[in-house]
Amino acid sequence: MVKECLEGKEQAWHLLVNNFSRRIFNLAYQFCGCYEEAEDLTQEIFMKIYTSLPKYDSSKNLTAWILTVAKNHLIDSYRKTKKEKSQREDFWQHLQAGIEPGPEAEMITAQTRELIWKGLGQLPPEIRLAIILKEIHGKSYEEVAEIMNIPVGTAKSRINRGKIQLARLLNQEVSQR
């Protein structure tokens, strides 16, 4: 696919966009918490992917490479703008409609969902991204480590630290009730 993209084949680029656009957009949205900003970030990430295609090493995993480009851009843009991401949109503004009814959904109150959604924005960017990749996108510790270019042990400790921080938020909520 990458080779054909480099040869200028439009279909190959469309295929790449179809395969990864939804994943990248959701990653960006979960990271920044703002729909419009996520759209801008997605476009910037795909521009970066397109311009970096000549550097892609075909012996490596394409998904991991694309997610690494996305991760680098998300972290860089966070550092450049220094925009405080605690100002996340309300959970129900876009995400509430996507919750599928079922026993799992009933177990968790809307208030808890909102709390965790906002809590994600309070995590340091590297920890937040590791949590999103592992818990929301279902990546293994090894995959998270590869995407984030860190040792597996570091990935594990970041994810655990993030979960402990989110659990503290839940505890605070319970104690305030």
Partner 1 sequence: MKCAQINKLLPVYLENELSWQEKMEVEAHLKTCARCAADLDNFKKISLLLSSMPQLEINPSLQARLYSIPTQIKLQPSRKLGLLDFFLKPSAQPALAAAVILLLFLSFFTLHPDGRYLGYSLKGKINFSLGQLEKTIAKVEGFPGYWPLVRRSIAHSLKNIVQGPS
Give contact residues for partner 1 (rule: CB under 8 A). 5-6, 8, 10, 13-14, 17, 21-22, 25-26, 29-30, 39, 42-43, 46-47, 50-51, 53-55, 94-100, 104-105, 107-108, 112-113, 116, 131-132, 135-136, 138, 156, 159-160, 163-164, 166-167, 170-171, 174
Beta carbon nearer to partner 1, 52 or 61? 52
Beta carbon nearer to partner 1, 75 or 169? 169
Beta carbon nearer to partner 1, 55 or 82? 55
List, as one string, the DSSP characters of 109-160.
-HHHHHHHHHHHHHS-HHHHHHHIIIIIS---HHHHHHHHTS-HHHHHHHHH
**Distance in angstroms (rounded) separating the CA atoms of residues 62 and 177:** 47
**Distance in angstroms (rounded) separating the CA atoms of residues 159 and 123:** 11
Beta carbon nearer to partner 1, 64 or 137? 137
User: 60 in helix, strand or coil?
Assistant: coil
Min dist. Cβ of residue 162 to partner 1 (A):
9
Residue 17 and residue 50 in contact, taking contact as beta carbons nearer than 8 Å: no
Min dist. Cβ of residue 172 to partner 1 (A):
11
- CB neighbour class for 120 (10 Å; exposed up to 12, middle 13-18, buried from 19): buried
Min dist. Cβ of residue 83 to partner 1 (A):
20
Min dist. Cβ of residue 80 to partner 1 (A):
21
Min dist. Cβ of residue 147 to partner 1 (A):
17
Beta carbon nearer to partner 1, 87 or 96? 96
Task: Report the Cα–Cα distance between both ends of the chain, in Å, rounded.
Answer: 54
Beta carbon nearer to partner 1, 82 or 169? 169
CB-side exposure of 173: number of CA atoms within 13 Å? 15
Min dist. Cβ of residue 82 to partner 1 (A):
25
